[in-house]
Amino acid sequence: MSATRSISTGIRDCPRLIRFTLKAPTNVEVEFANGSHYNLPAEFLRVFSPAVDSKIRSIGGEKVIYGRRYVGLMSAEPVGNYGVRLLFDDLHKTGIYTWDYFYHLGSNKFTLMRSYINTLRKYGLTRDPRAKK
């Protein structure tokens, strides 16, 4: 799947997307006209899904997704000229990832992931899925 333009969704100065590659089941790669190139793992994309679903646990008013270390990507469906809907193997598929949102995630990947891991620690949760009984 390839994309050639981006429609602004509020992220200031987002460059034009020039390449989107789904590397199922592990990651998505995006490249922008300013030379930025991001490899976004499935777990990261699932945790920072722009959608709200029933698999999110609310703790102390914070929305926390946990146990998604090994989640995989199954497909990407184009949504207009501005993004894709990703389908994960935990059947989450309601988030629309805009090109601008991919840029935001890529630009802030390490800060976002560090914050996510700290939140899990704060509540005694883990990135690992629960053991099957």
Q: What structural domains does the chain harbor?
A: 17-122 (3.30.2020.30)
**Mean pLDDT computed over 34-40:** 98
Looking at the predicted structure, is the pLDDT value of residue 106 above 60? yes
Band (5; pLDDT cuts 50, 70, 90): very low
Q: pLDDT of 63-97, one tens digit each?
A: 788 999 999 999 999 999 999 999 999 999 988 99
**Mean pLDDT computed over 19-47:** 97
| Residues in contact with 98: Cβ distance below 8 Å, sequence separation at least 6, in sequence order | 6, 7, 9, 50, 82, 83
- The partner residues of 23 in beta bridges, in order of sequence, read 27
Distance CA 87, CA 108 (A): 22
* Contact assessment for residue 46 and residue 74, using Cβ atoms and an 8 Å cutoff: no
The pLDDT assigned to 132 comes to 73
Q: pLDDT of 51-62, one tens digit each?
A: 865 456 677 777
The pLDDT assigned to 51 comes to 84
Looking at the predicted structure, is the pLDDT value of residue 4 above 50? no
Tokens 């920072």, located at residue: 48
